[in-house]
Each structure stands twice: as structure tokens, then as C-alpha cells.
Chain A
Amino acid sequence: MGLEGIGARVLRKEDKRFITGKGRYTDDMVVPGMKHAAFVRSPHAHAKIIAIDTEAAKKMPGVIGVLTGAELKADGIGNLICGWMIHSKDGSPMKMGAWSPLATDAVRYVGDAVVLVVADTKGQARDAAEAVDITYDELPVVVNAVAALEQGAPQLHPEAPGNLIFDWDLGDEKATNEAFANASHVTRLDIVNNRLVPNAMEPRATLGVYDAGEDHYTCWTTSQNPHVARLVMSAFYNVAPENKLRVIAPDVGGGFGSKIFIYPEEVICLWASKKTGVPVKWAADRSESFLADAHGRDHATHAELAFDKDNKILGLKVQTVANLGAYMSLFSSSVPTYLYATLLSGQYDIPAIHANVKAVYTNTAPVDAYRGAGRPEASFVLERIIETAARELKISPAELRRKNFIRSFPHQTPVIMTYDAGDFDATLDAATKVADYDGFEDRREEAAKRGKLRGIGLSCYIEACGIAPSAAVGSLGAGVGLWESAEVRVNAVGTIEILTGSHSHGQGHETTFAQLAAERFGVPIDSVSIVHGDTDKVQMGMGTYGSRSGAVGMSAIVKALDKVEAKAKKIAAHLLEADEADIEIKNGDVKVAGTDKSLPWFQVALAAYTAHNLPAGMEPGLKEGAFYDPSNFTFPGGCHICEVEIDPETGTTEIVQFVAADDFGKIINPMIVEGQVHGGLAQGIGQALLEGTHYDDSGQLLTASFMDYTMPRAQDLPSFKIMTTETVCPSNPLGIKGCGEAGAIGSPPAVINAITDAIHNNNLAMPASPQTVWAAIQAGK
């Protein structure tokens, strides 16, 4: 692999700018004449807008413009859309309510944007925002998705009667019912997957710049996928044609899904820049992020798992109500459907599965993808119910899982997916060994002597990454293809630029992607630069989410490298008067195999550009592009084991051990992969123990700051014991499965299984705060 090639723990190239304060985030950008924006947001969860009076605000110091939704509409800016069509089981298309970037007739959640103020300073914009006088007529509110489906519930959108967006089925209901009819044991479970606020540390921000001379827009934004932002703003929101709109996502301070979507603010600031004639910057406060970033999860589920007399699983039934909030965010419909129910087979051979999902409008912030997006919800359902079943059947949870593992690949599940590779025994064995799973009862006994309740919980998750084969997702309703593009430019001096449609916002692409070129040509990674995040530089791309940058993004680079290598070999063969098949590129030299004839890499590059002596008919230059469309999803899987000690007097949970054994396929940079696992685990453990999002009955967000919403802090977490096993993914040229979301997918059920094991009460809500755990202990007595 070499010191900097595939598999090497290369320190990150991008670190220097971040550790010295030289990162360039959107809110760091300053352009001449730039002014500042503040939004007037709805204080009500549901109300009619009767009147908007902006006169007083317009007279405030420093104010340049006070803009409303009526003006936005008059200028032809379109409503925001959801880009994934889901059809209900009766064949009808999903019912999408209108979402105007600035509300005009009604507001539907606290934080709904109504008016934009642009002023010389941020302070002045905020002062003026307070002077905007909006008259509301308050309407009844519903925040809970199950309640929103009830007769007589407040109605959000005329397009969606009963607040029902879709009523969707997957799997074979009849076969599943037959399986249950033959069952010797059925385990039943009702669970809630708690709503989360993603909370990337960099709040969202955008800077819209309209250039009247060129009739051209530039949008700096905190985006995980600038090209998709340009496409959507151009094709659907009518901001500007693509050739007149440049989107730049510079350094982005974390995303976790929340920066995939095209929010109202980008659209509005671009439009406002033209309207006011000044560049307009908006940067969210954290409080604003809590209110107006897309949230994650929020499922209520009933599940049933049927076994035969040998404890083999016969069938699974799942009914889920998914809260999508007040409006359908860009990919919201795909999360509780094709990213959720398709993973309900988990690591198990389940002959029959039937899932029903009802997606529902409520007076809460829109809900969309958050790290894992559907897959944590699936894994939580399955890994909670199988652990519950093991307790009911009085057999070891590890044993019950082992008995039902899929062991032959490819494996077709009853819910669309074809698993291509995996070894679930290997990850379970690795994790149970390191965790000393078999020795647990001694530790439980020892803890009891100290007055502590000790428990252990398993989770054997699977997920689908490498999103995704374009034709397949197209047939499932996706509005876009999910390939990735790359371009490899070798400069005349042999240095290399790799342009990618993937976006790095913490994942370390500038290092791992450069390792591919180092591996291929033996050049130092310092001579390889990664270019991303700018629609003027990179032609097209689909961005970073769904753990796709490795399996899809890097595969596109590999294809482009193949082409560069082939051309370089042709040139070298011509220069060295050798057969092309005998040329090899190693350690920065281009050689004729088995001889001492060689050229340094840069001379081949130089020859491509001087073009003095190229093979007949060859074009000058050494630059190749490629698009890569995956042939299948990839299927990372693993086993997480959590061990807890609980103080029965206070309900406080301490994680005394957390072990994760994951199979990510081939790994390019183990150091970066480990970091991804650590971060994912922290978010999963955060969901299980700490993070709860609470709206009161009037739709006010009670957990709207870091003082109320418990972010995991260093003291809340242990050091993790993590390891990897490897089955090579056959569906992409690098054998990669993806690692970005696994930690958040596998860990919540492991934590809750451990706590419920310790307290002998299986009825426990997330987050399992001390109060919740203490109450569950009392209820279980």
C-alpha cells in the first residue's frame, strides 16, 4: 500500500487550516458591500396570517429592505418541494402541501419564516425584525403524529386531508399473516424513535450575491451537496438558470444530513440580493437552528416478530407512523420508506415481512434525513424486538441472533434489498470476545454487591449505503440519479488535481481521495489536491450523504484514474519504444517491466502537454473525467455491545463499556474510519441517553437551546473499543461499504437493550434520562 496509499493511516492534509484558525466557513466570507439579513419567524405553531405591516421596520436605522412572501411570489420564486415521490398502497401519489419560502397565507410551525429584513449590520437587521408587525389568527395545533391522524385533529394542508401524506406498504402482507398463523411464539413491541435535532456545530448560513452586470448569482452556503442545491434552485425554485447560478459550499462545519436540503434561506437571500442590490448574508443563531433546521427520526412503531418452535424467525410485521413535520423537506419521504422498511430484515433470514408506514403532517419543524436516516429507526425496531424475544424465549440474545443469521450471499430479502456480502458471525464473535460477553454474569453479580444494576445489550445492525443505483432509485420514486462524478487533471509538472462531486464537511476527503492517486501512481499525497464544493469548478455531482462518498464518490475517481493511467501508459510506451502492456507505474516512475527503462512520472505528464512526441492521433493533455453509477447498494454491518451500570437511587446510567465490531469492506484510511465510528457512536448514544426534542401542546419547542437539549459532552461518553472485520464489497471497484453512519445506526438499541436488561423493565423510552430510568425501575418493581 505504500506509506500514503490505500490502507495507510495518513494524517489529514486539511487539518493545518483548521488547527490554526484558517478554515473558511460561510459565515467567515466577506464580500464588498455585503449586508446582513434577519428573518421574522412565526411565534405560533399554526395560524392564519391576517396582515403584515412592514412600515415601521422600513424606517429603522440601517434598513435596506423588508421583504415579504407576496413579493417573492410576484417575482416568480417557486414553492419548496420534496424530491422523492412515494405512492400510497392505493396507488395515489403522496399529498404534498404547498411550502412557500416565506409564508404568505398561514404559518404551520414555530420558526416558519415570514419576513426578511436586510440592514447594514446584523444587529440593525434584528432590531428592525422586531419592528415588523404581523397580525395572526391562531389555529388549533397538533404536534404528535399519532394524534394528527385522529378524527377531528387540526388540519395543516388542504392538499392532505387528515394530515396523511401517504399510507405506504412494503412486503407481502398475505405471506406474513400466514407465517404468523403458524407461529409458536410471537413477540410484540411498541416503541418510539425520538425526534432529534442534528446540531452540526456550525449553524447554517448563506451569502447570496447578485451581479447585475452579468445577471449572475453566487450562493455561498453550508451545504453537503452544492450541485443538487443549484439544480433544485434552478429547476424548481426559479431562482436562475443553472449557467447563471454558482453555488459554493466552502468549509462546512458538520452536516449529519441537516445540510443536504435546500432550505428557504438560500433561495430568499439570493432573491433578496437582486431585489435590494446588495450581497445578503444570513447566519443562523443556534436558537434559529433548533427551530428551523430539519429534525430527524420521530417514529412511533408497533412491531411483531413470529418464531417457530425452534426459535427460527418466521415473519415480521411493522406498523409505523412517521412525523414529517409541517412541510415536506427535500428527501423527507424517502427516509421512513425506502431507507427504513427495506432494512427491516436486518442480519436475519426472515421469510416474510410486511411493513406499513403512514407519514403525517404536524405543527413541528420539518423532519428529514439525519445521520443514518431511516436505517437507525429500522435497526432500533429489529434489534429491540429480537432482544425482547430472547428474554421471552429465555435464550441468550447472542444465540437467538446466531440462529437466524443470513450466511449465504447474495441474499434476497423480502423487502427489496439484495445483500451482496457479509459475515455476521465474524462481527458478533469479535465483539463478544472483546466485551467478554460470556463473563458478564460475574460482573453483574459484582456490581450488585456495590448496589449497582448492571446490564448488557447487543445490537447486530445492517445498513444500506453507497446510495445508490440510479435506475433502481428512479423506479422507487427518486427525482435524481445517485451516481457520482470525478475528474482527474494531471498538470504538466505531474502534480494532480482531483475534482469530485462529493463534499467534505469533516470526512477527510482531501486526504483519503488523495490516497487513491498516491496508491495508483506512487506520487506523494502533497502533490495531489482535491477540488470540491464549487459548481464553477466541478461540473456536476450528487454530494455527500448516505455514507456514499467512499463507495460512490471514490469509485468515480477510480474510473477517472483508470483512464488517466491508460493514457499515460500509451504515452510512456511510445516514448520508451515499448509495448503498452509492459508499462507499469510504480513509486512515481513509469517503467518498462523487467527492464531498466523508465521515465519519471512528471516527464510523462510533460510529454502529454508539450505534445512534441505523442502517439499518432492522440490528443494532447492528461485529464480524464468519469461518472460512476453503482450497481447495488452496499451493506455495512456489525455488532455493537453496550454494558451499563445504573444507580437505582438516581436512575443515572454510566456506560462502563462500549464495543463496536464493524464490517466496512475495504478501508482506505483506518484513522479516518475510526473517527467516523466514534462520532456516530456519540450521536447514537446521545439519542439513547440524552437527546430529546419536546414540543408543548401549543407547538412551542421547549428544547430550543443547548441549555435545554442535552448534547453529548465529553463526560457523558466512554472511550470506545472499536475494531473492524472485512468482507470485500463486490459492488464497487474498491470493495468499500461505507462507514459514516454505522455508529449512529447500531448503538441506540445496544444502549437501550443494556439498560432494560439491568432494570428488568423492557418498557423504556429514549432518551433514557435518569428520571426516565428511575421511573422505569419503580414501575418494574
Chain B
Amino acid sequence: MARVELVVNGRAVKGEAEDRTLLVHFLRENLGLTGTHVGCDTSQCGACVVHVDGMAVKSCTMLAAQASGSTVTTIEGLGANGELHPLQIAFRENHALQCGFCTPGMIMSSADMIRRHPNGLDEATVRAELEGNICRCTGYHNIVKAVLDASDKSKAAVQAI
């Protein structure tokens, strides 16, 4: 058994897990944070993306023990002070989700993408960057729109400062 200590969504958590426990299973089963989903077993679909120390990580590619000592943000912790994150708003306003299963991973990946592109994004870049996230419902059309929308707004916010 491995001892796992994390800060998840701003809260310090401790727990024990089998050595083979993946971070995604630790989040879902030990912490009850079921917003992070498991959509495949080959690290392809991206439904399990969370932020580990500020970077987007597929939580099915990391052991819980490996993540110990890190700060983790999941979809449940993305908004701040009870407010939705701009990407969460953009996904809703652009109808960028249907069944909702890939959505948490999409939003977490996109948040990282926008962080890495402070000068803004274009459609081709967004499509290339979403390579690791599969959606079966939306045809990506509205997801791309939502990410560009949130990116434009975040760029505008930065410029306003």
C-alpha cells in the first residue's frame, strides 16, 4: 500500500491506496470526485484530464503514489469562489457539450491550452491541441467555438489589465 498526500481543489487530503492505483481511481473512488471520468484504457480519450501542479495531465497515466505531494485541480475545483470558470461558461453558451462525459476532460485540457497561449488561439491550433481529447457527440464544432470564445475573452481580460 502507498501513502498518498495531495492538495486537491485547495484541500489537503491523505489516504492509502494499492501501489497500482491510478490517480484517476484515487480521485474517483477514495475522494468521491466523480467528475473526472474514465473513457478508455489506453490514455487516448482525455476524459480523465486534471491539473497536476498547474499542468494538464491524463490522470490515468499517473499512479496516485507518483502524484503524492502534488497539488491537483479537478473539474469540481476549477471555478473559484462559487463562480464558474470562463471555459465552463463558454462551453454552456456555445452548446459545446451533449452527453457531458468528455466535458470535464475537455474543459481541463482547454484551460491548460489557453494558459499556454496567452496571446490567443486560432481554429487550427485549437483543433491540433485537442488531439488528446475525444468527443463522440459534438463533432468538435462547438467545442472549438467555445475554446476560441474563452480564449478571446481571457486575452481581452489580460489586455484590459
Contact = CB atoms under 8 A, between A and B. Distances in A.
Contact of B98 (A22, A679, A705, A715): A679
Contacts of A256: 136
Interface string A666-700: 00000110110011111100000000000000000
A11 B84 CA distance: 16
B136 A711 contact: yes
A21 B142 contact: no
Contact of B95 (A11, A713, A717): A11
A24 B101 CA distance: 10
A121 B16 CA distance: 14
B139 A202 contact: no
Interface stretch (A65-73, A311-319, A465-473, A505-513): A505-513
B92 A11 contact: yes
Interface stretch (B63-71, B114-122, B127-135, B152-160): B127-135
A601 B39 CA distance: 45
B134 A28 contact: no
Interface string A698-740: 0000000111000111110101100000000000000000000
B72 interface: no
Contacts of B104: 18-19, 21
Contact of A506 (B35, B99, B142): B99
A202 B47 CA distance: 9
Interface stretch (A247-255, A391-399, A443-451): A247-255
Contacts of B75: 19-21
A200 interface: yes
Interface residues of A, number: 59
Contacts of A30: 32
A674 B140 contact: no
Contacts of A715: 127-128, 130-131
A11 B99 CA distance: 15
Contacts of B20: 123
A426 to B, nearest CB: 24
Contacts of B57: none
Contacts of A254: 98-99, 101, 136-137
A27 B92 CA distance: 24
Contact of B107 (A19, A28, A199, A507): A19
A672 B137 CA distance: 12
Nearest to B40: A286
Contacts of A123: 18, 20
Given A21-B75, A678-B138, A679-B138, A201 B101 contact: yes
Contacts of B133: 714
B44 A706 contact: yes
Contacts of B142: 675, 678
Given A201-B134, A714-B140, A675 B98 contact: yes
A711 B142 CA distance: 18
Nearest to B93: A11
Most buried by A among B38, B84, B98, B131: B98
A23 interface: yes
A707 B44 contact: yes
A679 B39 contact: no
B101 A23 contact: yes
Interface string B30-42: 0011111111111
B91 interface: yes
Nearest to A289: B40
B140 A285 contact: no
A293 to B, nearest CB: 13
A16 interface: yes
B136 A679 contact: yes
Interface string A31-55: 0000000000000000000000000
A504 B135 CA distance: 17
A135 B110 CA distance: 49
A706 B137 contact: no
Interface string B86-106: 001001110101111111100
Contacts of A252: 99
A579 B44 CA distance: 65
Nearest to A25: B101
B99 A19 contact: no
A15 interface: yes
Nearest to B128: A715
A108 B116 CA distance: 50
A587 interface: no
A707 B41 CA distance: 10
A12 B95 contact: yes
Contacts of B127: 714-715, 717
Given A286-B41, A678-B138, A713-B134, A21 B33 contact: yes
A253 B140 contact: no
Given A285-B41, A706-B40, A679 B139 contact: yes
Given A15-B92, A706-B40, A22 B35 contact: yes
A707 B101 contact: no
Contacts of A748: none
Contacts of A283: 38
Given A20-B75, A675-B98, A714 B131 contact: yes
Contacts of A15: 91-92, 97, 100
A28 B141 CA distance: 28
Contacts of B97: 15, 18-19
Given A707-B42, A719-B123, A23 B134 contact: no
Contacts of B33: 21
Interface string A639-681: 0000000000000000000000000000000011011001111
A550 interface: no
B52 interface: no
B53 interface: no
A508 B98 contact: yes
A127 to B, nearest CB: 10
A12 B92 contact: yes
A203 interface: yes
Interface in B9-24: 18, 20
B42 A682 contact: no
Given A15-B92, A20-B75, A679 B137 contact: yes
A610 interface: no
A492 B59 CA distance: 47
A287 interface: yes
Contacts of A24: 34
B45 interface: yes
A12 to B, nearest CB: 7
Nearest to A676: B98
B126 interface: yes
A678 B133 CA distance: 17
Interface string A541-569: 00000000000000000000000000000
A203 B101 CA distance: 10
15 contacts: A18-B103, A19-B97, A19-B104, A22-B76, A23-B100, A121-B18, A201-B45, A201-B134, A253-B102, A254-B98, A254-B99, A506-B99, A714-B130, A715-B127, A715-B131
The 5 A-B pairs with the shortest beta carbon distances in the complex, nearest first, are A21-B35, A18-B100, A253-B101, A682-B139, A506-B99
Interface of B: 18, 20, 28, 32-42, 44-45, 47, 74-76, 78-79, 84, 88, 91-93, 95, 97-104, 107, 123, 126-128, 130-131, 133-144
Interface of A: 11-12, 14-25, 27-28, 30, 121, 123, 199-203, 251-254, 256, 283, 285-287, 505-508, 671-672, 674-675, 678-683, 705-707, 711-715, 717, 719-720, 743
Given A201-B45, A203-B39, A705-B41, 13 more contacts: A11-B92, A20-B76, A23-B101, A123-B20, A285-B41, A681-B139, A707-B44, A712-B139, A712-B140, A715-B128, A717-B140, A719-B144, A720-B139
